[in-house]
Amino acid sequence: MTKALDLDLKKLKARAYDRAEWAEETLRRYHSTIPNLGDAAAQQLRPLYNWMFVPPTLWPFNVEDVLADCLAALEKGKRLNSQQRLLIDLLPEPPDENICAAVADHEHHVQKGTYENLVKTQAKYSLNELAIRTNPELRRQWAQIKAAFNVQAFRDHKGVIRRTMGAERNLRPSFSVNLRHREEVFRAAFDAFCLRWNLYGMQNDKPLLLKLAVNLTPYGTMIHIPAYWSFDPKRDIRWNAIAKRHDLERGKPCITVHIGSAQ
C-alpha cells in the first residue's frame, strides 16, 4: 500500500490547492480497502479513483467526497447503494494526461490570480487598483462594515473575505436575505460594497479588485470582463492562447463570454 500511495501523492504533489495533502487520507483508505474487496467491488471504485487525478476544475461533483462515502460503506461490509452506483456509472471517462496537465497549469494561475498568460493589458487593472487603494470613500465604507460586524469571523486562513460568487446566466443558488440572521445581513452588505467598488473581496484591509479573467469549468470556458474595464477585444486578450487551451480541453472551438459586474 505504501508504495502505491506514495506514487499517487507524487502525481498530485505539484498540483495547485495543496491537492496531495487534501487527497492523502482518502487515497490511504482506498489502498487499504482495495485488497480486502472482491474484484467486482474493486472495479466499481476504479472510475472514482481515476478521477482523483483529474484537476478538480473539471470535476462535475466532489469526486473525493463520493469516493470516501463509498469506502465507508465497503469498509463496513456493505454493498454500494443505488445512488452511489448511479453517480459512478454517470461519470464519463477521465480526460487524458495532456488535458489534465494543461488544466493543472491553469489552476496554478487561478490560485495566484495571475492571468497574464491570457490577458495582455494589465495596465488597466493596475491603474484602477491604485485608485481604489487610495480612495477615502472606500476606506470609510469599509470602516463602517467593520464597526457593524465581526469581520474576522468571515475571513479565511489568508485573511480573505470573498463576495458571493456569480453564476452562469446570473442564476444564483440563493437570492434571499433574512435580516434576522446576522450572517446574511453581513453577506448582503459585503456584496453591495464589492459591487460599488468592483471587488471580488477584501484581504484584511486591502481591497481586491476584479481582474479580466479566463477560467475553465467542467462545462466550458468562461471569460469575465469587469464592469470598470474599457474592453478592447483586439488588444486585451490573447485569443490564440485561450482558443488553444479551450480546444485542448474540449476538442471544439467554442468560447462563452460573460460580461458584467457581478461575476
Could you list the mean pLDDT of each consecutive 10-residue stretch along the chain, which spans 263 residues?
A: 90 96 96 93 96 96 97 95 97 92 91 84 89 96 98 96 88 84 95 97 97 88 91 89 77 44 37
Q: Is residue 138 part of a domain?
A: yes
Do 7 and 89 lie in one domain? The reply is: yes
Do 77 and 158 lie in one domain? The reply is: no
The count of structural domains within the chain is 2
Q: Is residue 234 part of a domain?
A: no
Residue 42 confidence (pLDDT): 94
Residue 250 confidence (pLDDT): 60
Q: What is the pTM of this model?
A: 0.81
What does each C-alpha distance from 44 to 67, 84, 173 come to in angstroms? 10, 10, 32
Partners of 224 in beta bridges: 213, 258
Q: What residue type is 2 in one-letter code?
A: T
Partners of 213 in beta bridges: 224
Q: Which domain holds residue 45?
A: 2-102
Q: Is residue 133 part of a domain?
A: yes
Q: Is residue 240 part of a domain?
A: no
Q: Which three cell numbers stand for residue 68?
A: 470516501
Q: Is residue 161 part of a domain?
A: yes
